[in-house]
Amino acid sequence: MDIEQAFEGSLPANLNEACAAWTQVASRCTHCGSCQPRCELLKDRTLDIGTIASKGQELFATVNKATQAQQGELDSAALKSGIRRFIAEEPSLYQALRECCFCNHCTATCPVGMVASQTTRPWRQLFALSGDMPEGDSKIVSVDKEWHIFSVYRAVYGIAYPEFYDLASLEPGQVDTLFFPGCALVSYMPELVSAVGTWLNAQGFVWALSQSCCGSPLMSAGLIERSRSLRLKLLGQIRHGGIKQVITVCPGCDEELSEVFGDEVEFKPLSELLAQQHATVAEQTGTFTLFDSCHDRTNTRHGRALRALLAENGCTIREMEHCGKNTLCCGAGGAVSAFAPELSARRVTRVLDEGKATTADTLVSACPTCTYTLAQELLNKQWPFEQRNYLELVFGERVDWSAIFERLQAMWTGEYGEWVCQQLL
Read off φ and ψ for residue 392, nearest 5 degrees.
-65, -40
Residues sharing a CB contact under 8 Å with residue 308, sequence separation 6 or more, in sequence order: 275
Counting as low any pLDDT under 70, the low residues of the chain are 1-14, 63-75, 135-137
Distance CA 193, CA 91 (A): 44
Residues sharing a CB contact under 8 Å with residue 232, sequence separation 6 or more, in sequence order: 260
Domain spans, the chain: 3-132, 149-275, 278-407
Distance CA 101, CA 411 (A): 29
Residue 6 pLDDT = 36
pLDDT one-digit tens code per residue, 167-226:
999 999 999 999 999 999 999 999 999 999 999 999 999 999 999 999 999 999 999 889
| Residues 96 and 45: beta-carbon distance below 8 Å | yes
| Residues 4 and 10: beta-carbon distance below 8 Å | no
Determine how many CB atoms are found less than 10 A away from the CB of residue 28: 14
Fold of 278-407: Rossmann fold (3.40.50)
Residue 13 pLDDT = 58
Provide the Cα torsion 35, 41, 46, 52; round to 10°: -70
Read off φ and ψ for residue 389, nearest 5 degrees.
-75, 145
Residues sharing a CB contact under 8 Å with residue 117, sequence separation 6 or more, in sequence order: 100, 102, 104
Distance CA 117, CA 100 (A): 9
Determine how many CB atoms are found less than 10 A away from the CB of residue 202: 9
Residues sharing a CB contact under 8 Å with residue 44, sequence separation 6 or more, in sequence order: none
Q: CB-based burial of residue 136 (10 Å sphere; 0-12 exposed, 13-18 middle, 19+ buried)?
A: exposed
| Residues 225 and 14: beta-carbon distance below 8 Å | yes
Task: Tell me yes or no: is domain 149-275 CATH 3.40.30.
Answer: no
Distance CA 193, CA 199 (A): 10
Strands (E), 238-301: 245-248, 266-269, 287-291
